């Protein structure tokens, strides 16, 4: 997937006029890119359309229209766009109760490195997490992590040829497996591959 440039973005005025319809389109698209691993982990797979929406929303919220500031937003969000041989996702650890969430985050240190994807007939691939900065410490992990799943050529070929895709988490305090992924998610993820 190509990265976004300033030419791909709408002006604040244009975006304001089209925002409601554009938002509906993006929300429908995002619904095909969500994966719940058990009751408390959500993977939201990112792509170019979702990142364009995120940037447009930031520009609107912050009233950003200067070229240098727009370039800064592009630098932040472009790394979350898949490169054709990977899937990129935001992982959210979700516990509604604040106290329970704090307890669980203390029990789930390192979970971000134990999330996996698997194309049928190939080895599991584990997430490469938080390349931008560390999000855990000796006391707890973060509730939000950014991850990349890097596929080799055989995995890409198999996925594009119709192989099923599975996912899971193998932490000592949290396990889940989804096999196979729903067709809408699978098809959307295959669209990220070149």
Kindly state whether residues 121 and 164 are assigned to the same domain.
yes
29-70 tens-digit pLDDT: 999 999 999 999 999 999 999 999 999 999 999 999 999 999
Q: Examine the domain organization and report whether 111 and 193 are in the same domain.
A: yes
Contact 179/193 with Cβ under 8 angstroms?
A: no
pLDDT of residue 137: 75
Judgement on whether residues 92 and 72 belong to the same structural domain of the protein: no
**What confidence score (pLDDT) does residue 1 get?**
72
Looking at the DSSP bridge assignments, the partners of residue 145 are: 91
Which letter, b or e, does each residue of 22-38 get, where b requires 16 or more Cβ atoms within 10 Å of its Cβ? beeebeeebebbebebe
What range does the domain containing 54 cover?
1-31+48-81
Domain shared by 193 and 98, yes or no: yes
Q: Spell out the per-residue pLDDT of the chain, length 194, in tens.
A: 799 999 999 999 999 999 999 999 999 999 999 999 999 999 999 999 999 999 999 999 999 999 999 999 999 999 999 999 999 999 999 999 999 999 999 999 999 999 999 999 999 999 999 887 666 777 899 999 999 999 999 999 999 999 999 999 999 999 999 999 999 999 999 999 99
Q: Tell me: do 164 and 70 sit in the same domain.
A: no
Alpha carbon distance 1, 78 (integer Å): 10
- Whether residues 163 and 183 fall in one domain: yes
Question: 75 and 137: one domain?
Answer: no
pLDDT at 51: 97
- 57 and 135 share a domain? no
CATH code assigned at 139? 2.60.40
Would you state the pLDDT for residue 130? 85
For residues 38 and 101, membership in a common domain is answered with yes
Per-residue model confidence (pLDDT) at position 182: 97
CB 109 within 8 A of CB 56: no
**Is the pTM for the entire model greater than 0.85?**
yes
190 and 139 fall within a common domain: yes
In this structure, the answer to whether residues 109 and 20 fall within a common structural domain is: no
What per-residue confidence (pLDDT) applies to 133?
65
Instruction: Tell me which residue of 127, 111, 121 sits closest to 173, measured CA to CA.
Output: 111
Q: Phi first, then psi: what are they for 81, rounded to 5°?
A: -85, 130
> Length of the chain, please?
194
| Cβ contacts of 39 within 8 Å, gap of 6 or more | none
Domain count, the chain: 2
Are 166 and 179 part of one and the same domain? Answer: yes
């Amino acid at each position: 997937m190509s990265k976004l440039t300033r030419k791909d973005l709408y002006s604040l005025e244009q975006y304001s006029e089209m925002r409601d319809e554009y938002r509906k389109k993006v929300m429908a698209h995002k619904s095909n890119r969500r994966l719940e691993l058990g009751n408390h982990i959500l993977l939201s797979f990112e792509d170019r359309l979702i990142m364009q929406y995120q940037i447009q929303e930031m520009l609107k919220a912050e009233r950003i229209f200067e070229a240098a500031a727009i370039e800064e937003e592009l630098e932040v969000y472009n790394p979350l766009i898949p490169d054709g041989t990977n899937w990129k996702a935001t992982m959210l650890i979700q516990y509604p109760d604040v106290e329970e969430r704090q307890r669980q985050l203390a029990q789930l240190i390192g979970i971000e490195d134990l999330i996996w994807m698997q194309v049928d007939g190939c080895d599991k691939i584990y997430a490469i997490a938080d390349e931008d900065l560390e999000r855990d410490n000796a006391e707890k992990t973060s509730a939000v992590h950014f991850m990349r799943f890097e596929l080799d050529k055989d995995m890409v070929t198999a996925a594009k040829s119709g192989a099923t895709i599975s996912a899971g988490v193998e932490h000592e305090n949290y396990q889940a497996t989804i096999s196979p992924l729903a067709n809408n998610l699978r098809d959307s993820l295959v669209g990220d591959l070149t």
